[in-house]
Amino acid sequence: MSILEQYRKISQKQNEVVVEEIVREENTKEHEMSIQDALKMFGYDEFKKGQEEVIKEVIYGKDGVLAVFPTGFGKSLVYQIPPLVTGKLTVVVSPLISLMRDQVAKLQGLGINAIFINSTVPMSDVKMAMLEVQSGGVKALYVAPERFDNAEFMRILKGVKVDVLAIDEAHCISRYGQDFRPSYARLGGVIEELSPRQVVALTATATEAVQTDICRILGIEKSKKFLQGVYRENLSFSVIEGLGPYKFEKMAQIVKKFVSVGMTTGIVYSPTRKEAEAICGYFNDSGVRCVFYHAGLKDAERAETQDEWGKNGGVIVATCAFGMGIDRPDVRFVIHSGLSQSVEDIVQECGRAGRDGKESFCISFWDKNEDYRTQMFLIDLTNPCMSDVNKFWKWMKNAAIEVSVENATSAELNLTQKVMGTESKCINVGGCIAVLKSKGIVETLGRGKYKVMLDGDIGNIAVLDDVRKDKIEKLNNVMRFYGGTGCRVDFICKYFGDNTFNGRCGSCDNCTKKGK
């Protein structure tokens, strides 16, 4: 290639870049009022810090967006405004049925054809909804990540043009995140198949390692990152340690004091279902009216409890099952009755307080030794180590072979402590069975009764040790947060790599030397 040809090629490339920037600027000018009008349709006169920039990047960009905004900062507008402005299809991936329902109702009220598809929607309605998607009439489609595992759903989506694919609670994508879900981790492949113009990942909490993991898995390493600080100056943190049997009494006193001064809406988080019900019972007996919520309730009960609290507020005692998608602005206090599983959990759950910007309180109770044992038990239950699972699978398969008939491919096995002997004492049986069921080589037939695939292969489960190690490290960080003597906000900011805050908040118990 001659020097003249090289020069022409370079000039052409430069001209293309200049033209692209001009077109982008013109498009921005063309839609600028539309973005403002869209904001007003949601009842706001101005954007919060950083909102407008990220929304414009979603509408006009193409290399991906990662937005890490604090709870209550208006992340949902990032994917709700684009279809209003462009009139093109936005697909929102969310694990929250209640959020889908509420946001779809809001968009429909604004004249946007929005629908959701999840496990609560009858199959006949799903088919009608997908026909509407095919026709191009739907502008906002809300789905759970597991929906992309459906071949027919993917076939239809590939036949239409997805303008924006928005992934809410994006920390779930990373195995280092607080809520790892396999279907989230497969979204990278979904993006390759659908080729949306823009991908946006949103979360309230993500360390630098999790941010990197999210972008890598989704294939948006070149994405623009919009990171707002995690510090919210209207929240004050305090920790109360070592009350033992008097913990319930002290919590009730604190809640009564809040209610007496008009702070009537709050959440009390418990690490276990049993304790959540016990706290609720104690509160009601003490004159504090409240309800409880956990995953052990029937779907209808959970929905009714959350809807009632969402409308009327009050005090609710719950496990971590109650949380994402809550949109009450006037939660005045969040209390943790025991050790949380991670700093991410603390920030997510405490972030549900004070969304209206008014003063709110985050109080944690803990017993160093007892609470640590409880959380380690929960880790053992959900994340057994690789050696225990391998050992248990070997025992279970051999036991099934002994009771199987000749040439059988599977066998039924009754598991009791008497049958298992020492196996039930040295490892966490429930956790091991959960892993084997996820591999498809064990199936639950009834209480204590299982079907074992005799030709089943457990495969490579080394990742179990990595996940377990990560969860233990997260728990140890919580121990450092609760037991530390420095500013609690400073600890949280350093944990998330937030450099916008440096020093002391002046309002936590360690800064004020109160609340000990």
* Mean pLDDT computed over 444-471: 89
Q: What is the mean pLDDT of residues 317-346?
A: 87
Local structure of 61: helix, strand or coil: coil
Tokens of 114: 């929005």
d(CA 459, CA 455): 12
Residue 32: is its pLDDT beyond 80?
no
Report pTM.
0.76
- What does each C-alpha distance from 468 to 348, 458, 463, 465, 471 come to in angstroms? 21, 18, 8, 5, 5
Q: Mapping DSSP to helix (H, G, I), strand (E, B) and coil, where does residue 356 land?
A: coil
Closest CA to 428 of 370, 369, 378: 378
Distance of CA 279 to the CA centre of its chain: 25
Q: Calculate what percentage of the chain has a pLDDT beyond 90.
A: 43
- 242-267: per-residue pLDDT in tens? 888 899 999 999 999 999 999 999 99
Query: Is residue 7 over pLDDT 60?
Result: no
Distance CA 85, CA 76 (A): 15
Reference 434, options 384, 373, 375; nearest CA is 384
- Average per-residue pLDDT in the chain? 85
Exposure string over 276-296, b if 16+ CB within 10 A, otherwise e: bebbbebbbeeebebbbbbee
In Å, what is the CA distance from 39 to each residue of 48, 79, 111?
11, 12, 14
- Once rounded to an integer, what is the mean pLDDT over residues 2-6? 44
Question: Rounded CA gap, 480 and 483, in Å?
Answer: 5
pLDDT band of 515, cuts 50, 70, 90: very low
Instruction: Give the Cα-Cα-Cα angle 367, 372, 172 (nearest 5 degrees).
Output: 120
Q: What is the pLDDT of residue 124?
A: 85
CA angle at 245 for the pair 240 and 249, rounded to the nearest 5°: 70
What's the one-letter identity of residue 295? A
Q: What is the pLDDT of residue 31?
A: 47
Average pLDDT over residues 80-93: 92
Instruction: Quote the DSSP letter at residue 192.
Output: H
Single-letter amino acid code for the residue at 257: K
Per-residue pLDDT band for 196 (boundaries 50, 70, 90) equals: very high
pLDDT at 516 over 60: no
Give the per-residue pLDDT at 425.
58
Would you state the pLDDT for residue 362? 97
Max CA distance (Å), the chain: 89
Confidence class of residue 177 from pLDDT cuts 50, 70 and 90? low
Model confidence over 268-300: pLDDT tens digits?
Answer: 999 889 999 999 999 999 999 999 999 898 888
Question: Which stretches of 348-403 are assigned E, i.e. beta strand?
Answer: 360-366
Q: Is 414 exposed, middle or buried (0-12, 13-18, 19+ CB in 10 A)?
A: middle
Q: How many CB atoms lie within 10 A of CB 381?
A: 13
Question: Which domains are assigned to the chain?
Answer: 33-227 (3.40.50.300), 235-366 (3.40.50.300), 378-465 (1.10.10)
* Phi, then psi, of 365 in degrees rounded to 5: -105, 140
- Give the 3-state secondary structure of 175-243: CCCCCCCHHHHCHHHHHHHHCCCEEEEEECCCCHHHHHHHHHHHCCCCCEEEECCCCCCCEEEEEEECC
Note the pLDDT of residue 71.
73
Using 50, 70 and 90 to split pLDDT, how confident is the model at 50? confident
Residue 22 pLDDT > 70? no
Residue 178 has pLDDT above 70, yes or no: no
Q: How far apart, in whole angstroms, are the C-alpha atoms of residue 390 and residue 510?
A: 46
- Partners of 291 in the β-ladder: 316
Share of the chain above pLDDT 70, in %: 89
Q: Report the range of poorest mean pLDDT among 171-185, 373-387, 404-418.
A: 171-185
Instruction: Name the token pair of 329.
Output: 């602005």
pLDDT in tens, 115-153: 998 888 888 888 888 888 888 889 999 999 999 999 999
H or E stretch including 481?
helix 463-483
pLDDT(359) > 70:
yes
For residues 363-377, average pLDDT: 89
- In this structure, of 26-30, 91-95, 195-199, 429-433, the range with the lowest mean pLDDT score is 26-30
State how far the Cα of 351 lies from the Cα of 16, in Å rounded to an integer.
Answer: 45
Lowest mean pLDDT among 19-23, 258-262, 408-412, 449-453: 19-23
314: phi > 0 → left, psi -120 to 50 → alpha, else beta; which? left
Q: What is the pLDDT of residue 288?
A: 94
Give the model's confidence band at 423: pLDDT under 50 very low, under 70 low, under 90 confident, else very high.
Answer: low
Mean pLDDT for 318-339 is: 86
